[in-house]
Structure 1
Amino acid sequence: MRAFPVKVPSGARYWTVIDSDLQVVPVADQWLRHLRFGRSRAELTTKAYAEGVALYFAWCDRTGRDWPKAPRDLGLFIVWLQHTPSSGNVVLGPGAKPVRQERQVNKVLTAVRGLLTFAVSIAEAPAAVLGQLYEIADARDLPIAARGEDTKLAVRLGVQHRLHEPETQVDRATDEEIVALFKACRNARDRLVVLLLSRVGLRRGQAAGLLRRDCHLLMDSRALGCREGGAHLHVVRRQNSNGAWSKSRLSWVQPVDFLVVQAFDQYFDERYARLGAGGSDFLLVNLYREPLGMPMSPGAINELFSDLARRAGLDRAVAPHMLRHAMAGNAVDAGASLDELQALLGQRNPNSVLPYLHPSRDRLRDAVTRVPSPRELLEDGTR
C-alpha cells in the first residue's frame, strides 16, 4: 500500500492509495477525490491523508484484519505505528525509540478517522464504527459557563484515540537570522522570497502561488483595473499546477513596503535577463535549473531555506513559517493592533492571530516598568 499522485484532465492533482498490485483502493480514492474537489482541500493535504490511510490499509493487510472492522483494535494500530518503520521490514520492540513521534501518529489517526467516517456515510463500513472512533456525549456534563446561551441539547464528539503531544510553539525568526538568510542569497529571486515571508508575512504556499498579475507595484493601480492604492499584492486561493495553496479561504489585499518593491524590481530584471518575456505566469520560477521558467513549488522553498541556513552558518534551522511569525511579531512590536495584524495575516478568526504574538524582551520589560510601585500609588493618594 502506498500513496500515489493522480492528475485529472483539468490539470489539477490529488493523491490516492494503491495496493501491491498497483490497483486503486476504491473507498480511499473516492474519499480523497471528495476532499480535493468537493471540499477544496489542498493537494498536499490529500497527500498527507493518503500516506496515513495507506499505513492503515497496510496494517490491516499484514495482520489479517478487515479494514471496516479494524477500528475496534485501533490501540494496537497505534503501537504498530510507533514501532514499525515505513519499510515494514523490522518491528522494533517496546523500549526502543519510536519511529514515529506523537504528532506524526496523531496525523495518521486523523486521516484514518476521516476515511472511516466517510466510509460509514456511503455504507461501506458499519455505523458502529463511529462509536469506536469517537466518544459521544452531550453538553449537560460541561460547566455552565461553557454551555453557552443556547439551552437546546447539543451533542458533541471527542476522539477515542489520540496521543498526548508535548506542547510546541513555532518560534519567531530573529532579525539577525533574517539578515543572515538574506545575505546568504545568491540571486534576486531568493532575496525576494525571503522578503515575501519576513516582511509581507506570506506562507510558503501563498508565495509560491502568486501570479504576476497578482502583483500591483504602482502607487496608482487604476491602470491595472484595480482601485486599491499603493503597492500591494492580491493573495488569492486557487488551484495551482505547482501544488501551491493558500491555507486561508479569504482573498485579501496585502500592502508592501519600498524594500519589497525594490526586491521585485531587481528580480524582474534578473528574470528578464534569463527568460526574456517568456516563462510561466507564476511570479517565482526556476531561473538556474531545469525546467527553466517553470514555477517554484512550496517544497522548493523549504529546500531553499535549508540551503540558506547552512550557508549562513546559523545555529539552528530556520523554517519558512518562522519568518511569518517574525513579521507578525515585528508588526506588533511596532504598534500594530490585533485587528490590523489579523488583516495582514489573512486570518478569518481573531483567535488565530494569538499564536503569532511573540512580544520582544524589551517590550516585556517596558510592560513591567510601566506598572507603578506601591510607594507611587500611596504618594498620589495623599496629594
Structure 2
Amino acid sequence: MVRAFPVVMPSGQKYWTVLDDDLEVVPVADEWLRNLRFGRDRAELTTKAYASCVALYLRWCRSTRREWTTGGRDLGLFMVWLKYTPAPRDGMESVVQPGPGAAPVRGERRINRVLVAVRGLLSYAVSVREAPRAVLGQIYELADSRDLPAEAQGEDGGLFYRLRPVHSLREPETQMDRADDAELVAMFVACRSARDRLIVLLVGRVGLRRGQVAGLRRSDVHLLPDSRALGCDYPGAHVHVQRRENRNGAWSKSRHVWVAPLDFVVVSAFDLYYEERYRLLGAGGCDFLLVNLFRAPLGEPVSPEAIGELLERLSDRAGLGRRVGAHRARRAFASNVADAGGTPDEVQAVLGQKSLDSQAPYLFPDPKRVRAAIDRVPSPRGLRGPEGER
C-alpha cells in the first residue's frame, strides 16, 4: 500500500516522503518533497500533509492501472474516487469501492487540498522531465485577472494572465470567527497544571501559533523589566520568537525573528510554571520552555500536536460545545488589541507579521464596538439644511 513515511536526515532534520507497495521510495515524489522542505524552507508538517495527499493519488493510479505521470488528464475521475472511497484500515485496501449515491467520505475542502499537492507533484515532474509537458495543459488553463476579486487585481487595474487549476470544487463558505473571552477564561479555569494555564495564555493573550509556542526555548524568555544584561534592548517582559529546526517538529510560520511583549498576567503564569517544573523535574529537562511533566519521556519538549490535543480537551472539559484552537485564540488576541485602541501597525507588530495587509483575517471587532460606531452617526433629522432649516 502506498503510504507517507517520515525520514530523518543525518543532520537531524526531518521531512516526509512516499513509499510504494514494495516499501521503496518513489523517486520523483521524494525529490519534490525534499525540495519543499529544504529548498523552499517549508515545515516538516507541510511535507507530511503533501506526502499523504500524493500517496492517495498514487494509490488511485495503481488501483485504476494508470501511469501517475499522465494521470492528470483524468483528475475528474480521481475527484470522484476521493469523494467516495474511504481510507484503508489496518494497512488493508478497502474491498468495497462505493460510488455516487453513497455517503461522501471527504469534503470539498479536503479534496481541493489533495489536488493542490497532486498539481505540485506533476508540475515538478514536468520540470525535471519525468512527465510530458502536455500534463501542464491538462491540469491548468490560461486565465486572466478579470475573474479575480477586486483586492487581488492590483492597484493599476491592468490585465494580466495566470494559470488557473482546471480541477477544483467550490468550497462551502465558512464563517471565520474568534474565540470569546469567556471561552478562553473557561479553558484557563479547566486547566489542571500551571504549564497548561501558561499554554492557554500564550495562545490567547500573547497570540502565538501552536508551533511557535512549542518551539520556545527558556533562553527566548526575558521576564525582567530591563534585559540589557542579557544583551537585549527590548523594554519590558517579552519572548523572542524565531524559526528553528526543532526535534519536536515545532515550526514558526514567520521567517523573521520578532518579539512578543508579555503583560503581568502572563509573567505571573511563567513564575508559577517555573515553580511547578522545578518541583517535578528539579534542574533537569531540556532547554525547551514547555516539556513533558506528567508522562514519559519526562523533560522532553511538548509537540505542536500535543498542544492542539490539549486545547481540544480543554474545550470539552470547559463545556464550550466547539473546539477553540490556537488560531481562534490568536484571532481573539488580535481583535482585543484592536478593540482596546491598538493601531494597525501595533496589531501588526504583536502578531509578528511583516505586512499590514496580513492582519485583516485576524480582526473581528467586538459587536458592541461596531454598534457604538453606528450609534455615533448623526441622524438626518439632526442635520441642518443649507439655510439652517431642519
TM over 0.5: yes
Query: Aligned equivalents of 1:143 and 1:355: distance in 2?
Result: 16
Once the two structures are superposed, residues 83-128 of structure 1 have per-residue CA deviations (whole angstroms, 9 ceiling, x without a partner) of 1011141322212221000110011000001111111111111111
Correspondence 1:136 to 2:137:
no
1:350 CA drift (Å): 2.1
1:380 CA drift (Å): 9.3
Q: Which one of the candidate residues 137, 147, 165 is aligned to 1:159?
A: 165
Worse-matched range after superposition: 217-226 or 373-382: 373-382
Distance 1:144 1:228, change over 3 A: closer
Distance 1:39 1:142, change over 3 A: closer
Q: Which one of the candidate residues 278, 282, 300 is aligned to 1:272?
A: 278
Matching residue of 1:71: 72
Query: Aligned equivalents of 2:208 and 2:297: distance in 1?
Result: 25
Q: Which one of the candidate residues 316, 320, 344 is aligned to 1:314?
A: 320
Correspondence 1:55 to 2:56:
yes
1:149 CA drift (Å): 4.2
1:155 CA drift (Å): 3.7
Query: Aligned equivalents of 1:379 and 1:149: distance in 2?
Result: 39
Matching residue of 2:107: 101
Distance 1:354 1:65, change over 3 A: same
Distance 1:381 1:243, change over 3 A: farther
- 1:184-333 mapped onto 2 (5 Å cutoff): 184-333=190-339
Q: Which one of the candidate residues 115, 120, 129 is aligned to 2:121?
A: 115
Q: TM-score, normalised by structure 1?
A: 0.95
AA aligned to 1:327 is F
AA aligned to 2:356 is P
Correspondence 1:170 to 2:176:
yes
Query: Aligned equivalents of 2:154 and 2:193: distance in 1?
Result: 56
Query: Aligned equivalents of 1:141 and 1:105: distance in 2?
Result: 22
Matching residue of 2:21: 20
Distance 1:219 1:160, change over 3 A: same
Q: Unaligned stretches of 5+ in structure 2? A: none
Find the residue that maps to 1:382 and give its secondary structure.
coil
Q: Unaligned stretches of 5+ in structure 1? A: none
1:379 CA drift (Å): 7.1
Q: Identity of aligned pairs, percent? A: 63
Matching residue of 1:354: 360
Q: TM-score, normalised by structure 2?
A: 0.93
Query: Aligned equivalents of 1:231 and 1:141: distance in 2?
Result: 48
Query: Aligned equivalents of 2:252 and 2:286: distance in 1?
Result: 19
Distance 1:380 1:374, change over 3 A: farther
Matching residue of 2:45: 44
1:315 CA drift (Å): 2.2
Q: Considering only aligned residues, what root-mean-square deviation do their CA atoms show, in Å? A: 2.0
Query: Aligned equivalents of 2:382 and 2:359: distance in 1?
Result: 36
Query: Aligned equivalents of 1:253 and 1:381: distance in 2?
Result: 57
- Contact map agreement 2:81 2:99 (CA 8 A) in 1: no
